[in-house]
């Protein structure tokens, strides 16, 4: 054995020839060069190629830089899934500014908070959102430069001083050799959490993470070249789960949509030969229902990526019957959208249908680009045993975890305490290694010292033929500390009263887990169809 020299650490080189920052900007540039004539964006019959899209983005970026936008500037965008929202997903990173896509369903107060907190210097506004944008700007302290994106179907009532197309026309393109950030960990995007409790937090992504998760989507979905991708997922959701850059990496087509209604989705599928789409289970359900009502099966299998809670088995079966092929992913704003996937194993093909439904409803394993998905005791940080029963907090480690919360070092430290990102979700690890969510930590009900998973109780309620939707929350209880209370929407025309549902639960669950009260009501939901349990908790506290 020879003595160690330092041959591998001296005399080698890191320079411009062999080191470039990872950035989604490179994905756009490369596709524009490799496939200039391939279609990039389609909307209302207008198609732009990758060459045209890239040229417009270079101008947009040049115009933004001219306005002083740089690495510490926030560029806010309040826009439905129109072509401009896709272009700005490419152009703002090219300007080296930070892209802040704002939830288009927020009220003026919520938007004003974000504009102020992010210190927006520019705001792009969709004419379809004129009223709320004006109200937000009136309430905000900042005075960003406003650039109006005019939807021909819904013109501005008060014309904007500066229009999107005029801004592009008047701008000088950025030089192509000057597109990349200095540092791949420079901020790329700012995405506010939904803020169900307290003010929303501003999650910061960097170029490296977005590049990797964009590529990660191609790996998990085994994306073909030139996918035809329908924008059913809001671009303000974790930058559309990084899909603008994923579609760029595969030289695909972004098919834009004003809104993901059932008819709009089916029309787009029929008109443009869609191959892939993403969305919450509710979007899958809408598209399926519309296909059923039209009596059509899809012209080809369409890959549908859905996140979070898996669609119920019955919805899955209906969706597959009309022609959707489902992949189930999981993530949070803090991890660039999805970065866990229920990775299907060929040996599961032979399981009975019910077992297959159970297996595919799990959140699964880490994305290839995520280093680690784990379930840990939140105190000791020890991993829980892989027994499918011991609950712990779901934690993430890897390059697709946020840089932190903007101007909130305390929340950032708390989220990263112990060297993992703590999701606040509770779950188990099964013996086969897959992680399954059991609840949000704040949704756990602690009754008589026992932990009750609200999801488990809801799962039983959903089996009752009268239950359309159900949510179980903790109500304060003098004797037990907390007690489970169920909120239920009944199916039309099916009767069941509270005592029947409670008895139904007691036949199937330990008695301490069963609701002690059932309220029949319409369930409050977020814009993405998530039930807002915090509203329900208010009703019982």
- Within residues 87-126, the interface with its own copies by CB under 8 A covers 98, 119, 121
Q: Which of residues 4-33 bind its own copies (CB under 8 A)?
A: 4-9, 11-20, 22, 26-27, 30, 33
Q: Binding mask 120-159 vs its own copies (x if CB under 8 A, - otherwise)?
A: -x--------------------xxxx--------------
Measured from the CB atom, is 124 or 487 closer to its own copies? 124
**Is 431 among the residues that bind its own copies (CB under 8 A)?**
no
| DSSP letter for each residue of 444-495 | -EEETTEEE-HHHHHHHHHTSTTEEEEEEEEEEETTTEEEEEEEEEEPTT--
**Is 356 among the residues that bind its own copies (CB under 8 A)?**
no
CA-CA distance, 153 to 361, in Å (whole number)? 40
Q: Kindly tell me which residue out of 147, 204, 280, 531 binds its own copies, with binding defined by CB under 8 A.
A: 204
CB of 190 to its own copies, least distance (A): 8
Q: Which of residues 208-227 bind its own copies (CB under 8 A)?
A: 209, 215, 218-219, 222-226
Measured from the CB atom, is 224 or 385 closer to its own copies? 224
Measured from the CB atom, is 22 or 470 closer to its own copies? 22
**Is 349 among the residues that bind its own copies (CB under 8 A)?**
no
Q: Binding mask 370-409 vs its own copies (x if CB under 8 A, - otherwise)?
A: -x------------------------xxxx-xxxx-xxxx
CA-CA distance, 9 to 143, in Å (whole number)? 51
**Residues whose CB is less than 8 angstroms from the CB of residue 514 and which lie 6 or more positions away in sequence, other chains included:** 457, 484, 502, 505, 506
Q: Kindly tell me which residue out of 24, 61, 73, 426 binds its own copies, with binding defined by CB under 8 A.
A: 73
**Is 305 among the residues that bind its own copies (CB under 8 A)?**
no
Measured from the CB atom, is 253 or 461 closer to its own copies? 253
**Residues whose CB is less than 8 angstroms from the CB of residue 105 and which lie 6 or more positions away in sequence, other chains included:** 527
CB of 267 to its own copies, least distance (A): 25
In the block, which residue shows the tokens 């890239």?
54
**Is 463 among the residues that bind its own copies (CB under 8 A)?**
no
**Is 350 among the residues that bind its own copies (CB under 8 A)?**
no
3-state secondary structure of 56: helix
CA-CA distance, 449 to 361, in Å (whole number)? 29
**Is 525 among the residues that bind its own copies (CB under 8 A)?**
no
CB of 488 to its own copies, least distance (A): 37
Q: Does residue 179 contact residue 67 with C-beta atoms inside 8 Å?
A: no
**Is 333 among the residues that bind its own copies (CB under 8 A)?**
no
CA-CA distance, 402 to 219, in Å (whole number)? 20
Measured from the CB atom, is 121 or 130 closer to its own copies? 121
CB of 245 to its own copies, least distance (A): 11
In the block, which residue shows the tokens 């489970």?
484
CB of 78 to its own copies, least distance (A): 18
CA angle centred on 290, ends 286 and 294, rounded to 5°: 170
Using CB atoms within 10 Å of the CB of residue 481, give its burial: 0 to 12 exposed, 13 to 18 middle, 19+ buried: middle
Binding-site size for its own copies (CB under 8 A) equals 86
Q: Are strands 445-447 and 98-101 parallel, antiparallel or unpaired?
A: unpaired
Please give the structure tokens belonging to residue 120.
């927006």
Q: Kindly tell me which residue out of 80, 201, 420, 464 binds its own copies, with binding defined by CB under 8 A.
A: 420
Measured from the CB atom, is 55 or 343 closer to its own copies? 343
Q: Binding mask 468-507 vs its own copies (x if CB under 8 A, - otherwise)?
A: ----------------------------------------
Q: Are strands 392-397 and 372-376 parallel, antiparallel or unpaired?
A: antiparallel
CA-CA distance, 402 to 304, in Å (whole number)? 26
Please give the structure tokens belonging to residue 514.
């069963």
Instruction: From 236, 302, 225, 221, select the one nearest 100 (Cα to Cα).
Output: 236
CA-CA distance, 342 to 223, in Å (whole number)? 16
Q: Residue 485's beta-bridge partner residues?
A: 473, 517
Measured from the CB atom, is 428 or 457 closer to its own copies? 428
Q: Kindly tell me which residue out of 185, 430, 442, 508 binds its own copies, with binding defined by CB under 8 A.
A: 185
């Amino acid at each position: 054995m020879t003595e160690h020299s330092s041959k591998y650490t001296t005399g080698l080189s890191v320079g411009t020839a062999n080191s470039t920052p990872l950035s989604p900007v490179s994905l756009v540039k490369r596709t524009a060069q490799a496939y200039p004539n391939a279609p990039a964006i389609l909307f209302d019959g207008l198609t732009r190629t990758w060459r045209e899209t890239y040229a417009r983005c270079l101008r947009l970026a040049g115009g933004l830089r001219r306005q002083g936008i740089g690495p510490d500037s926030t560029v806010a965008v309040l826009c439905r899934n129109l072509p401009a929202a896709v272009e700005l997903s490419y152009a703002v990173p090219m300007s080296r500014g930070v892209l802040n896509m704002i939830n288009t369903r927020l009220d003026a107060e919520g938007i004003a908070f974000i504009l102020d907190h992010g210190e927006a210097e520019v705001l792009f506004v969709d004419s379809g959102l004129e009223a709320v944008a004006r109200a937000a700007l009136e309430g905000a302290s900042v005075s960003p430069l406003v650039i109006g994106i005019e939807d021909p179907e819904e013109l501005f009532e008060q014309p904007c001083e500066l229009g999107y197309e005029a801004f592009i026309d008047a701008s000088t393109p950025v030089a192509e050799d000057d597109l990349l950030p200095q540092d791949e960990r420079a901020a790329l995007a700012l995405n506010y959490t939904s803020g169900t409790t307290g003010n929303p937090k501003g999650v910061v992504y960097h170029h490296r993470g977005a590049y990797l998760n964009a590529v990660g989507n191609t790996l998990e979905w085994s994306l073909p070249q030139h996918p035809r991708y329908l924008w059913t997922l809001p671009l303000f959701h974790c930058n559309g789960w990084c899909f603008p850059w994923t579609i760029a990496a595969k030289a695909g087509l972004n098919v834009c949509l004003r809104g993901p209604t059932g008819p709009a989705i089916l029309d787009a599928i029929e008109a443009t030969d869609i191959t892939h789409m993403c969305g919450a289970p509710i979007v899958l359900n809408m598209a399926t229902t519309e296909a059923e009502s039209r009596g059509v099966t899809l012209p080809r299998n369409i890959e549908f990526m859905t996140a979070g809670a898996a669609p119920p088995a019955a919805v899955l079966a209906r969706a597959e019957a009309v022609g959707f092929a489902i992949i189930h992913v999981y993530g949070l704003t803090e991890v660039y959208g999805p970065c866990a996937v229920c990775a299907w194993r060929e040996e599961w093909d032979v399981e009975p249908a019910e077992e297959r439904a159970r297996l595919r409803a799990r959140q699964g394993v880490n994305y290839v680009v995520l280093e680690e998905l784990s379930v840990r005791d939140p105190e000791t940080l020890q991993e829980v045993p892989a027994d499918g029963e011991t609950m712990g907090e779901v934690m993430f480690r890897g390059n697709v975890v946020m840089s932190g919360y903007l101007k909130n070092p305390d929340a950032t430290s708390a989220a990263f305490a112990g060297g993992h990102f703590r999701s606040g979700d509770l779950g188990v690890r099964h013996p086969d290694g897959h992680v399954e969510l059991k609840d949000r930590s704040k949704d756990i009900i602690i009754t008589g010292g026992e932990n009750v998973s609200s999801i488990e109780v809801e799962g039983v309620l959903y089996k009752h033929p009268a239950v359309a939707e159900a949510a179980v929350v903790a109500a304060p209880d003098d004797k037990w500390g907390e007690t489970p209370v169920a909120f239920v929407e009944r199916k039309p025309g099916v009767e069941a009263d509270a005592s029947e549902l409670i008895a139904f639960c007691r036949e199937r669950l330990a008695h301490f887990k069963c609701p002690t009260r059932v309220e029949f009501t319409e369930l409050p939901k977020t814009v993405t169809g998530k039930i807002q349990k915090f509203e329900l908790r208010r009703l019982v506290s």
